[in-house]
Structure 1
Amino acid sequence: MARPGSPGSVDVLGECVADIFEDHDRSDPDGLVLRALPGGGPANTAVALARLGTPTRFLGRLSDDAFGALFRARLRASGVDLRASVTASEPSTLAVADLDASGQAAYTFYADGAADWQWTDSELASTRNDEAVCLHTGSLALVRRPGGGRIEDHLARVRRHATVSIDPNVRPLLVAPSAYRERLPHWCAVADILRLSEDDCALLAPDTRLDEACDTWHEAGARLVVITLGKNGALASLDGTRVTVTAPPVTVVDTVGAGDSFTAGLLHRLAALGHLGGRLDTLTLDDAADACSFAAHAAALTCSVPGANPPWKQGTALRSASSST
């Protein structure tokens, strides 16, 4: 378990995705000009964690194509350790984003046969890191086959020495919500932390109150369930005892990567408070609320700039979100 004030190291396992946006200023009737930005929920989380000052390893299958080079450059520039990542011959995953007037993004994915889903047991075994206090995963890499099932097995082994955090990050255009619902009890059985958005909950537990959904996931094994509520903050449920934290006001440019920054802020703060490295046995509801407040601030800062561009520890506004980082 990490000592209070010492963030410990966190491993993040999952996909990199190239987020493709239209460059409206350069497009015309003769041609559509697109811009590719490095993204993907797990990769965004790793970047945000490293920028906050948490020693972070990214466990990914990075293609040897041009997008893979883009991913590596961004991760390394943010201070992420890539030594446990795999160089893969399969193509990178692409997501073409369409932003609405409020900055919300809808995606069209190009993912069949991509590198991210092809994990082998031997590749996962080679990522073992007994020094990490937490392994965070989720999103598409955990639900898509063939790699998803192997990652589930890997989590069961990792939790012997580390806290396990999962963000389902439901993508109904790529994987039917029923597939997530089928696997969610298995994920809760190995997860100490389950982080979801309100939209995820609507797909995973339709027609169910958030408190009832939390209790279901607690019964399945997850000790801490955190549901982000957009501008309304976040709900934290620790073994069935709940608290809601507010989100700071922000002028939203877009919401790309905000949830991933929230997850990073949550894990960073829990590590700094000394709660990661086991089954959250020392975690109190007050500390869970503190971590969620810090995370909400990190997410708000991400919403204030274009794309998945999480804040750095040196940011004055972020330092003021908490007395200690």
Structure 2
Amino acid sequence: MDSTKVAVLGECVADAFATGSASQGELILRVLPGGSPANTAVALSRLGTPTRFFGRISRDSFGGLFRTHLEASGVDLTGCVTADEPSTLAVATLDESGQAGYSFHAEGAADWAWSEAELTAERFGDVSCLHTGSLALVRAPGAEHIERLLGQVAGWATVSIDPNVRAGLIDPAVYRERMPRWCALADVVKLSDDDLRCIHPGEALDRVCDTWHAAGARLIVVTRGSHGVTVSLDGRRATVPAPATDVVDTVGAGDSFTAGLLHRLHTSGLLGGRLDALSLDQARDAAAFAVRVAALTCSVAGANPPWARDLDG
């Protein structure tokens, strides 16, 4: 692998949506490929950033769905492990505003079974950036090995983390305890305002950002729905407004935002190392581009991020 590539590490999830009301004793589900890291990899590749995905993809039928979806978007899967364990299944329920809630079926799944031998720094090579987060960063036994890997690649690559809190599956106290460690490893921390409230309930955004800067993270980006985005670089902050969007649903929007942010930093030549050359204006510009990518994702059903051509004009 060369340093022109961005690596994404984490889970694939089969997102199941009910296609109608239960009738005659059965419920019909439509299953789409998802998972926060996999969604981010797809969106990055569609935007034109060379992307390699590192995941443990099951041999089951869902695993075949994941591979087809990722490859169709141009994602390099040569870093993936073919696993005997089952895929993770998430059953989604959409509310009236299009916000998705999930119930997870994740015990013993392939995504969390990383071994130390499967996650060596040599295997990742000289990438410009490694992005990870979500459930892969909190579920044993793989989470410990991922944290160790982040510490190793931080010597030459920009490290990006999205905690993507799943409070219904993981106690928020776990995120609260680990965030200082993650901030010490990460150059970019992206999260939603819901994530922030789960991790530090009742605390002001500015105070939380400053705490995480002190722990080591240079760039913190908080998405706030219709209120836009807060960008915090070493304690200096800016706001990016959210465009008016006809929202179909918000599935995958946060992952598309992450991809847009990293893509813009990549095309600006800023990824690699500790982001020492990054200015607040450049960070704001990257977030403004990311907001456009996320808005386009919200305008269609499911985690279906735009291609670069969709952002022309």
TM-score (normalised: structure 2): 0.97
1:58-78 deviation digits (Å, cap 9, x = unpaired): 000000000000000000000
For 2:249, the equivalent position in structure 1 comes to: 254
Letter of the aligned partner of 2:140 in structure 1? Answer: R
Following TM superposition, by how much is the alpha carbon of 1:236 offset from its aligned partner in structure 2, in angstroms? Answer: 0.4
Within 2, Cα distance between the matches of 1:124 and 1:221?
A: 24
Equivalences, count: 312
Following TM superposition, by how much is the alpha carbon of 1:173 offset from its aligned partner in structure 2, in angstroms? Answer: 1.3
1:203-256 deviation digits (Å, cap 9, x = unpaired): 111111101110000000000000001112110000000000011111000000
Asked if the contact 1:192–1:280 (Cα under 8 Å) also holds between the matched residues in 2, the reply is: yes
Go from structure 1 to structure 2 and tell me whether the alpha carbon gap of 1:126 and 1:224 turns closer, same or farther (over 3 Å shift): closer
For 1:281, the equivalent position in structure 2 comes to: 276
Asked if the contact 1:224–1:238 (Cα under 8 Å) also holds between the matched residues in 2, the reply is: yes
Work out whether 1:65 is the aligned partner of 2:51. Answer: no
Higher RCO, 1 vs 2 (CA within 8 Å, ≥6 residues apart): 1
Within 2, Cα distance between the matches of 1:129 and 1:89?
A: 22
For 2:222, the equivalent position in structure 1 comes to: 227
Which secondary structure state, in structure 1, belongs to the residue aligned with residue 37 of structure 2? Answer: helix
Within 1, Cα distance between the matches of 2:63 and 2:226?
A: 33
Following TM superposition, by how much is the alpha carbon of 1:319 offset from its aligned partner in structure 2, in angstroms? Answer: 2.6
Work out whether 1:31 is the aligned partner of 2:26. Answer: yes
Alignment of 1:1-325 (within 5 A): 8-24=4-20, 28-125=23-120, 128-315=123-310, 318-320=311-313
Following TM superposition, by how much is the alpha carbon of 1:50 offset from its aligned partner in structure 2, in angstroms? Answer: 0.2
Following TM superposition, by how much is the alpha carbon of 1:142 offset from its aligned partner in structure 2, in angstroms? Answer: 0.5
Cα RMSD between the aligned structures? 1.3
Letter of the aligned partner of 1:8 in structure 2? Answer: T
Letter of the aligned partner of 1:105 in structure 2? Answer: A
| Seq. identity, % | 62
Within 2, Cα distance between the matches of 1:206 and 1:149?
A: 26
Following TM superposition, by how much is the alpha carbon of 1:132 offset from its aligned partner in structure 2, in angstroms? Answer: 1.3
TM-score (normalised: structure 1): 0.94
Which secondary structure state, in structure 1, belongs to the residue aligned with residue 191 of structure 2? Answer: strand
Letter of the aligned partner of 1:54 in structure 2? Answer: T
Within 1, Cα distance between the matches of 2:125 and 2:62?
A: 31
Go from structure 1 to structure 2 and tell me whether the alpha carbon gap of 1:283 and 1:126 turns closer, same or farther (over 3 Å shift): closer
1:96-145 deviation digits (Å, cap 9, x = unpaired): 00101110011000000000000011101176333310000000001111
Asked if the contact 1:84–1:127 (Cα under 8 Å) also holds between the matched residues in 2, the reply is: no
Asked if the contact 2:121–2:153 (Cα under 8 Å) also holds between the matched residues in 1, the reply is: no
Within 2, Cα distance between the matches of 1:111 and 1:130?
A: 30
Runs of 4+ that moved beyond 4 A: none
Letter of the aligned partner of 1:47 in structure 2? Answer: V
Which secondary structure state, in structure 2, belongs to the residue aligned with residue 81 of structure 1? Answer: coil
Following TM superposition, by how much is the alpha carbon of 1:274 offset from its aligned partner in structure 2, in angstroms? Answer: 1.1
Which secondary structure state, in structure 2, belongs to the residue aligned with residue 31 of structure 1? Answer: coil
Within 1, Cα distance between the matches of 2:4 and 2:264?
A: 11
Within 2, Cα distance between the matches of 1:115 and 1:204?
A: 27
Which secondary structure state, in structure 1, belongs to the residue aligned with residue 16 of structure 2? Answer: strand
Within 2, Cα distance between the matches of 1:166 and 1:30?
A: 42
Letter of the aligned partner of 1:265 in structure 2? Answer: G
Asked if the contact 2:121–2:152 (Cα under 8 Å) also holds between the matched residues in 1, the reply is: no
Within 2, Cα distance between the matches of 1:212 and 1:281?
A: 23
Within 1, Cα distance between the matches of 2:24 and 2:100?
A: 23
